[in-house]
Chains A and B, each alone.
Chain A
Amino acid sequence: MQTIPSVPSCLLPWLLALLLALPGQAGATEDLSDYVYPIEDPFEATVSGTPVELRHRFIKSKSMQRDNFELEVFPGRELPPLFDSVRSLAFSLAYQDVPAPLLFVIAGTGGSYRSSSSKYLQRVFYQAGFHVITLSSPSSHEFIAAASGSRYPGISEEDASDLYRVMQMALAQVRDLIAVTDVYLTGYSLGGLHAAFVSHLDEQEQAIGFRKVLLLNPPVSLYTSALLLDRLVGREAGMQDAHAYFSRLFGKFAEYFSEHGMIRLDDEAFMFKFQESEQSLTREELMALIGASFRLSAAGLVFTVDALNGTGQVVERDRELTLGTPLDPYFKRGLWWRFTDYFDRLLLPYWQARQPESKREQLIGRIGLPALRDYLETSSKIGVISNADEIILTPQDIDFLGSTFGSRATIFPRGGHLGNLQHRDYVARMLSFFGAVAGGS
């Protein structure tokens, strides 16, 4: 709830002038040899993020102009009362007073339009002179309830057409408020994969016409990334140990408190201080932390899909979900599911019901960047940023990014999964790809 500083409006015309004066820097590959990122372990990088002194700097001044909007994507859609609060799809717009380019940001797995990474990107690009709309991930419960045509998210093409519909509606809704010069697109993590498919769809439909598209640490094969994440918390081993493990973890936090007294956990550098203390988490603990965080997203996804389709895999078929229904048993069951369980037990049956001839491997092949290989190879407007130690990718996946995107791929040597998103070099690369000038630093 801190006020978010941003560009003073008197500076905006000036920034915009700069922006117009310096077009076409995109594609220029930065020299990565100057890149400094101290964390060697990719799991620690993923949890801790970027040291404060290496972060992109914002202009600290008055708050950005930002409003939330709601879209009724499917008016009159029937939903259990439990989902009343997500009947319409909310999104956020940060807007300039002057004509400016518009950037769409698609959130990562299970993420909402106001997740911290979405807000961060919104601020970065707002200060660089963009209007910015952040959208929830098709895998989030709010998107599934309000905006998923099939209510089975995960099939990239279908997610993309849901997103594309939402984007057009959002554009229509904000048309009177802002003057848009060009439209750009980005997404992080799973949202990066979505961005590629949305861009591909846009080439056929021509309803928006994205000028440039940037994928931030996307999965290459969604199924492979799901497997990698599932393995961070094994069902048998991990969950069996969950009790002891989390007792120990909480014990460490408690110990840290008693040694350091009152500390602010929302301190941006907290994880760094914590990792330098005696209580620092081991690699295994960091892995389990990340795995569990994704597992939590999976639980929300599985529960929502099951509840909205009445498949009876999590919620008993005859059970009505109201605002007062205790969800504890469903939370527990949801956490039992891995992403790959979702694939095999919900997504694949849905797909095969419509495509009886289709094999499991075919679906796996459809949900990933390789399905768009030709398009990605030849389309000069699409770029990608990732890290060589990205935990959701295999070395083959990294090679795929390099060979497919060529000079449009930027692979930082370190950073884990989005651990370097706030790094000044990462931000500089994003901005230069879109031909923008940083508002800050």
Chain B
Amino acid sequence: MHRLLPKSLLQTLPAIVLLAIAGCASQPVQAPSAEQPGLADPGFYTGMEESFRAPPGERSFFEVYDPWGPLNRKLYVFNSHLDHYVLLPAVQTYRKLLPGPVRQAITNFFANLNEVTTFINLVLQMKGVEALESGARFFNNTTVGVLGMFDVATRMGIPRHDEDLGQTLGHYGVGPGPYVVLPLFGPSSLRDTTGLVGDYAISWEINMFGARKAIWASIPLTALEVLDIRDNIAFSYGDLSSPFEYEMVRFLYLESRELEIRE
């Protein structure tokens, strides 16, 4: 369970703007035919398709493959309701109940748990130095940092990495495949959904602190993790204030994943 949305990118003007243009040249799938019955003045759009097209031979920068669009869009709306009526109110209560430092400790705790999958994925990507750093982070944070609640590794100057199986697959050339909107989890792709399942299986097998397999612990723990993730996402549905929010979020997600993979 890594991210509902790429928080980082969503907040910057450049990113928001990039996706603006981006949406333009997407959709080879649904390229409208030359004939557009019902359109008042199709001539107004002369030259539009050409101007949005990638030059031959170049990677089609804005291409978005979304064959499951109608279903994805409904799930997007479903998620926005879930967010509005369930998650956000729950997060509000969570914030009222727990002071900032406690919530930070919880964030650190889950980040430390995820260090395990990051480490494995860095090894899979044969990034030796980063893997060592990740391992050192985990060791220090788990011991000195009391089960990860204090991020002592960052204070020691060990840089943080965040890798998941989706990125590893991307690293080895697997494309994102069709865009997917997962219930609750939000934007994803077929590749990243596969990675998500794989990462979860890994953390299940490793069964850190016995947390994953003990049902009595795993249900409240998962709920807490969901709250923590939501608490740390600076985006709410409707924030982009556009009827094209779905298109923008889709683009932002896919592009930020590409950036993370190239990183």
Measured CB to CB, the residues of A under 8 A from B are 1-3, 47, 63, 82-83, 85, 110-112, 114-115, 136, 140-142, 235-236, 239-240, 242-244, 246-247, 249-250, 253-254, 257-258, 261-262, 264-266, 270-271, 289-290, 292-293, 295-297, 299-300, 303-304, 307, 311-313, 316-319, 323-329, 331-336, 345
> Does A333 contact B61, Cβ atoms closer than 8 Å?
no
Q: Which residue of B lies closest to A264 (CB)?
A: B8
CB contacts between A and B, total, < 8 Å: 210
B93 at the interface (CB under 8 A from A): no
Q: A2-B234, A332-B23 in contact; A289/B17 too (CB < 8 A)?
A: yes
Partner of A262, one of B17, B47, B69, B162: B162
A-B residue pairs in contact (CB < 8 Å), sample of 10: A236-B47, A236-B51, A243-B25, A271-B14, A300-B243, A303-B244, A316-B38, A317-B40, A332-B26, A335-B21
B40–A331 contact, CB under 8 A?
no
Whether B9 and A265, one on each chain, are in contact in the complex, defined by CB atoms closer than 8 angstroms, is yes
Question: Could you say which residues of chain A place their CB within 8 Å of the CB of B69?
Answer: 324, 326, 328
Alpha-carbon distance A325/B10, docked complex (angstroms): 24
Contact flags B81-101 to A (C-beta < 8 A → 1, else 0): 000000000010001000010
CB < 8 Å neighbour of A3 from B8, B58, B95, B235? B95
**For B214, what are the chain A residues with a Cβ–Cβ distance below 8 Å?**
none
* Further pairs besides A1-B234, A324-B74, A333-B45: 8, Cβ < 8 Å: A1-B230, A236-B47, A262-B159, A262-B162, A304-B243, A319-B38, A325-B70, A326-B69
Say yes or no: B45 contacts A246, CB within 8 Å.
Answer: no
**How far is A300 from B10 in the complex, measured between Cα atoms in Å?**
18
Residue of B nearest to A144 (CB): B243
Are A239 and B244 neighbours in the complex by a CB distance under 8 Å? no
* Chain A residues within 8 Å of B10, by CB: 266
Whether a CB of chain A sits under 8 angstroms from the CB of B39 is yes
B contact residues around A140 at 8 Å (CB): 241
B73 and A328 within 8 A (CB): no
Measured CB to CB, the nearest residue on chain A to B41 is A313
Q: How far is the CA of A199 from the CA of B235 in the complex (A)?
A: 34
| Residue interface mask B12-47, A partner, CB < 8 A = 1 | 111111101111111100111000111111001101
Residue pair B239, A312 in contact (C-beta under 8 Å): no
Q: What A residues does B259 contact at CB under 8 A? A: 250, 253-254, 257
Task: Flag B61-80 by CB within 8 Å of A: 1 or 0 each.
Answer: 11010100111011001001
Residues of B within 8 A of A254 (CB): 259, 262-263
The 8 A-B residue pairs with the shortest CB-CB distance, nearest first, are A316-B38, A112-B241, A296-B20, A324-B70, A266-B11, A312-B40, A265-B8, A328-B27
| Cα distance A262–B134 in the bound complex, in angstroms | 13
B30 touches A47 (CB 8 A): no
Taking the closest CB of chain A, its distance from the CB of B70, in whole angstroms, is 4
Instruction: Report chain B residues within 8 Å CB of A258.
Output: 262-263
Count B interface residues, CB 8 Å.
78
> Quick one: which of A242, A271, A289, A300 contacts B24, CB cutoff 8 A?
A242
The minimal Cβ–Cβ distance linking A113 to chain B, given in whole angstroms, is 9
The reply to whether B26 and A242 contact each other, CB–CB distance below 8 Å, is: no
The CA of A298 and the CA of B78, in the complex, are separated in Å by 27
Rounded to whole Å, the gap between the CB of A284 and the closest CB of chain B is: 14
Tell me which residues across on chain B come within 8 A of A111, comparing CB atoms: 241
Q: Find out whether the CB atom of A110 lies under 8 angstroms from the CB atom of B37.
A: no
Per the bound structure, the CA–CA distance linking A239 and B80 in Å amounts to: 32
With both chains docked as a complex, state the minimum distance between the C-beta of B257 and any C-beta of chain A, in angstroms.
12
Q: How far is the CB of B104 from chain A (nearest CB, A)?
A: 12
Contact B48 A336 (CB under 8 A): yes
Set A2, A142, A239, A262: member contacting B241, Cβ < 8 A: A142
- Chain B residues with Cβ below 8 Å from A239 are 21, 24, 51-52
Please state if B36 and A316 are interface contacts (CB–CB under 8 Å): yes
A243 close to B243 (CB less than 8 A): no
The complex places the Cα of A295 from the Cα of B24 at a distance, in Å, of: 11
Cβ-defined contact, A326 with B7, below 8 A: no
Is A331 a contact of B91 with CB atoms below 8 Å?
Answer: no
- Given A265-B8, A296-B242 in contact, is the A318-B38 Cβ separation under 8 Å? yes
Evaluate whether A292 and B20 lie within 8 angstroms (CB atoms) in the complex, with A266-B8, A299-B244, A317-B38 already known.
yes
In the bound complex, do residue B23 and residue A328 qualify as a contact, i.e. CB atoms below 8 Å apart? Answer: yes
Chain A residues with CB under 8 Å of B27's CB are 326, 328-329, 332
CB of B202 closer than 8 Å to a CB of A: no
Indicate if B200 sits at the interface (CB-CB under 8 A): no
Q: Which of B38, B61, B62, B255 has the most CB of A within 10 A?
A: B61
Residues of B within 8 A of A303 (CB): 243-244
B20 contacts A335, C-beta separation under 8 Å: yes
